[in-house]
Structure 1
Amino acid sequence: MHLQVGIVGLGEAWEWGYRPALRRLADQFRVVGIYDSVFRRAQLASEEFRAHPAESFRGLIFRPDVTAVLVLGSDWLGPLPVTVACESGKPVFLGAPFELTLSELEELTCVAQTTGQPLMPALGLRAILKAARVPELIEVSLGDPRQIFCYHRMLRWGRGWRSHLAAKLAELIDGCLFLLRQPAGSVVGLSPGDFEECPSGLKILGFGCEVPTPGKAQATVHIVCEWFSKPVCIEGVDFRGTSELHLHCEDGVACFEEGKCLSWSDPAGHHRERLDGQACPEELLLAAFYQAVVSKAPLLADIRDAYTALSLVAKAQESRKPAGDIYRDHRKPG
């Protein structure tokens, strides 16, 4: 069964992410129409998918043959296309949730609750970890995580580095909390130099949080993001991949290297599983959205998860002020 979708905003990840993912998922998705603020770009994409290039996002969303909406880039429109789609009774996939501000994500949380429509944000690390069966491994073999160390290397540079860094940090925070299945308690942000100034060369941003677990010692999460703000020799810095996740659990340890391998040790011995054949995050996310809409499966993530992750980034930045650790309110918006 095909899910007939309209695409609003192609976004930064279109060429290398969502475009090839939709081609590989041609048996699940049929693109009916495409809207982008640059109309020529929408025309070119529509020719490839034999879709209709729309002149307005409202006209595309209200088409009777569009049953779901993929908002892959917000441009200058902000949360408006998502709100219109939800209020028109159509499920929405939000491909770049961290392009929106914290207040806009809170607004969309209220919209999703009011309309009752599925609204799934693209939280890539969560999708990758689930595809690699890391949550299942924790439940069956390793036991509850006590410490998670996450390391990520970003190799892009240029304008907009600050928003890219905050978005990636929010995605990493969400992935770690997805494994812990508990809300964060205190959070702290650590960074040499001023996060608000344009960096030169290597920029490191650290994040830490403590997660209360009932009846046990609290778990801790440590995240380090490296950002290369100027052109560097990619071959020299990318020899170990871009993301690593180290889990120290009650009954074992595990190391996850994105796109490469998952290795772990438990009471049964040492194990290693290659991940080089795993689908890209965009394909995993779209497939999960398809299952949620067509088969009524639970959403892989909802908009509250994106709001929580971005709010923790804001709290971590705030904690770098002299006041120290920041304790977040566990209540979710709405």
Structure 2
Amino acid sequence: MAAGGTPKLGVVGVGRLWEARHRPALRQPYPPLRVTACFDQVARRAEREAELFRARAASSLRGLIFGADVEAVAFVTRQWFHPLGVEWAIEAGRPVFVAVDPVDDWADYVGLVERMTRTEAPVFLELERRHLPALRRLIQLREERLGPIHHIRFTLKKRVDATRTTSVPPAEPAVGLAIETIAGLRARTPRRVEFRPRAFALDDAGGKAQSGWRIDFADDVEVEVVESDQPRWSLAIRAEAGEAVWDGPNSIRWRETIPNHNTPGTGTSVVGDWQTEEMTGAEAVGHDSLAQFAAAIGCPERFAWQRNADQRLVAWAQAAAQSRDIGAAVLDSPPRIDSDLNSDPSVTDRTRNPGQGETHS
């Protein structure tokens, strides 16, 4: 890769997300990356975008990934060959930008993340960046209001297609970081990872049955990962002094109980609702994500903490897969993770102080 130059980008999948979010960002006068090749399962779309950027319309996916004019690869629209293309890009040692869910189920996710953790090139999952302000806010709530956390419940949305129904895994690194970091579980060893069949796992109201995983830690901390028919994922936290729900990229609701010292056993309930300021339009989001990716190409250690979180999820997922047959699995020697969000130099002062009118970093 040429030192000091604009990284050369190969784009895979030029559909609606590309048109709304990423193409405008890369058409600006000083784009963070230069588009040099395009590929799409609809050849005419790739040719049209290639003409727009004066780039090459690749005749095949491997032809784009392994092309001499490509230094990094962006997967923007989900297509039939996904996640094979991501695996090929990792194999080629290319920095990878992924704007869509990279896999469909746990088995594929484990395999993909294992490849991600073995590569030195950055693998950037775009959705993670937009969640950092909310993740910071949850950590702040734990430290300043809610106190020690006893239970985390991550509810996956279920994907249904013509051939099968699968749970979308926590492919967004923010989710893995939340499970680890919000409750202070970094470098902790899970005592037990258990798969719970649908017949034995009920939702909070005791109604519809759900299947999922339960992960027990020391210090009375429990993590649940369950699947649901709800339209989007959510993260619910129960702590010593209250509870919080993160049910959108930038939306957190919490309830805190302030004890009444004059009357032991009683307290006052305080309810809060927190929203970040949205960036102005999809183009701004795309430019922000692509600029972060371009910076990471020249400094891959900026995303070392992301790989560490992914390693933890691999250990959990592997144990959960084993527990389907044996009822429960105990992690004897999971990888020790010493990463910390505060060690990520790409986090700016705005994300260190969430809730004060900041935009996405």
Asked whether 1:92 is paired with 2:60, we answer no
Q: 1:37 to 1:206 in 2, by over 3 A?
A: same
Q: 1:178 to 1:161 in 2, by over 3 A?
A: farther
Q: 1:159 to 1:262 in 2, by over 3 A?
A: same
Give the CA deviation at 1:221.
Answer: 1.1
For the 8 Å contact 1:22–1:29, the answer to whether it is kept is no
- The amino acid across from 2:151 in the alignment is Q
Q: 1:81 to 1:67 in 2, by over 3 A?
A: closer
Q: 1:39 to 1:149 in 2, by over 3 A?
A: same
- Report which of the two structures shows the higher radius of gyration computed on alpha carbons: 2
Unaligned runs of 5+ in 2: 201-207, 259-269, 338-361
Give the CA deviation at 1:218.
Answer: 3.5
Asked whether 1:79 is paired with 2:87, we answer yes
For the 8 Å contact 1:6–1:33, the answer to whether it is kept is yes
Length, aligned pairs only: 291
Give the CA deviation at 1:249.
Answer: 3.2
Partner of 2:228: 226
Q: Distance in 1 between matches of 2:51 and 2:209?
A: 41
Q: Distance in 1 between matches of 2:110 and 2:158?
A: 23
Unaligned runs of 5+ in 1: 195-201, 228-236
For the 8 Å contact 2:197–2:210, the answer to whether it is kept is yes
Q: Structure 2 length as normaliser, TM-score?
A: 0.63
Q: Distance in 2 between matches of 1:103 and 1:130?
A: 25
Partner of 1:253: 243
Q: 1:70 to 1:36 in 2, by over 3 A?
A: same
- The amino acid across from 2:224 in the alignment is H
Q: Structure 1 length as normaliser, TM-score?
A: 0.67
Aligned residues: CA RMSD: 4.1
From 68, 71, 76, the equivalent of 2:72 is: 68
Asked whether 1:150 is paired with 2:154, we answer yes
- The amino acid across from 1:81 in the alignment is A
Give the CA deviation at 1:245.
Answer: 1.8
Partner of 2:274: 273
For the 8 Å contact 1:129–1:175, the answer to whether it is kept is no
Give the CA deviation at 1:303.
Answer: 4.3
Partner of 2:179: 176
Q: Distance in 1 between matches of 2:299 and 2:111?
A: 32
Q: Distance in 1 between matches of 2:86 and 2:194?
A: 29
Q: 1:80 to 1:304 in 2, by over 3 A?
A: farther
Q: 1:203 to 1:146 in 2, by over 3 A?
A: closer
Asked whether 1:210 is paired with 2:216, we answer yes
Kindly, what percent of the aligned residue pairs are identical? 19
Q: 1:290 to 1:264 in 2, by over 3 A?
A: farther
Q: Deviations over 1:252-274 (max 9, x none)?
A: 43222215631234589543223
Alignment of 1:50-65 (within 5 A): 51-57=55-61, 59-61=63-65
Asked whether 1:161 is paired with 2:151, we answer no
Give the CA deviation at 1:301.
Answer: 5.6
Q: 1:83 to 1:325 in 2, by over 3 A?
A: same
Alignment of 1:29-68 (within 5 A): 29-36=33-40, 39-47=43-51, 51-57=55-61, 59-61=63-65, 66-68=70-72
